[in-house]
Structure 1
Amino acid sequence: MGLTINILNPIQVPENIPVKVYNIPPAPEKGMFLDIPVDVGPQYEGQRVRRENMFVEFGGPKLKHKFELVRIRANPEEVDDGKVIIVGEDINELKRGGTYPLAIILEVYGGKLDLNAEGVIERRIHEFCNYIQGFMHLNQRYDIWLRVADKSYSKGLTSFKYVGTVLYRLFKSAFPIIEKLQITFITNEEIVGKLFEQALKVYEARDARILDR
């Protein structure tokens, strides 16, 4: 049985699409990000990676299918804490200079969390991604645009497992209410396209709840 991804309705990932699963290791004692190949910190917020200086980019105005989404799960068994899942090609498997679809899905469990926290957590993805040296993140929801700088790729930022590790540790530090967190990156066009319409419905329902308060 292959991987199933569930936003509103479960989607089975075909066996011919590569899936990689990583367990996030404990943070090094002498520094939370010493095991990340590039520097990490708020000093990189606002960074821009020009096209001529990028290794690859994801999303942006050229592509329809791209999004980032947080889903709060009611059952702790639905979230495999500390897992980073990559569906499709990883950064180092993509062609230099290319533009690719991307979905980033954070599945979260916390006994005191409710659905209204989804948007709050989701908005921090932008901030925390930009903590990574040479990893540009613009916009939110279905307008995201990310670039990996050539220099950062050369230093070893070759996999989403590093991005997932940074996000996991920052979210767990900033939101102690989060008990479990699982992060999925999807670069496969077929899967991102199928999930895109479901993500739009989640955004619409979330906005409607806010207006009805």
Structure 2
Amino acid sequence: MNKITTLLKRTLMTVLFLLAVSATYTSISGVQAEELTEWWDRYDHPFYSAFYGADAGTIEDSAIRETNLSLKSLKRHEAEVTSISSSYAESDSLTLEEAIDWTQYPSTVVTATGYTAGVESTGKSPSHPSYGITYSGVKVKRDLYSTVAADLSVFPLGTILFIPGYGYGVVADKGGAIKGNKVDLYYETVKDVYEEWGKKKVEVYIVKKGRGKLTEEELALLNEDETMQVFRQQYLKDTKS
């Protein structure tokens, strides 16, 4: 009787120990219980050793199985962050440059120059009736989607470009000196132009070709897209710092 009691106690302690180890492993690795069950059913089944051989349970095999489980967990995590969404973008460590595969879009190299709505760039003072109004009729704007000027024969009004280091630029304006692959990037002040951009050659990505028009409503919808707000907040935080 004592032997049976001792055996039952040892069995119970072993089961409790295995449950504790399972809970700890699941908490640390993120591997769910059903995955451990699947692993147990496959590799600890009585017929497994008979089918695969007596050495199927070696340390090396165990390590491989654990690695496969970790990779499975990692792949599941990667799948959760492949699209831009509010749930994915909870991590503010990713920038737009990092979050999207920009190679899926056609690209071209342009000479990009910063400009303002002021006299130094447009010859217009704040008292001018068309101050800050672009050729499309939209007011100049620096945001996640900013208004930019381009050669409309190259980039029609409404074209959406992604400019690394600047963000999205929506073609809303033109200029007499803007010919060919040239783009003027809007900034609110001359100080911003000099400190944040100046003039440089950069590879831009053509996200969407315009239809020759742009409205305030269309620009607002782009900037208020719920799935993009975390990136917008990153941008606003960076510009205010």
TM-score norm. by structure 2 comes to 0.28
Highest RCO, 1 vs 2 (Cα 8 Å, sep ≥ 6): 1
The structure where helix makes up a greater share of residues is 2
TM-score norm. by structure 1 comes to 0.31
The structure where strand makes up a greater share of residues is 1
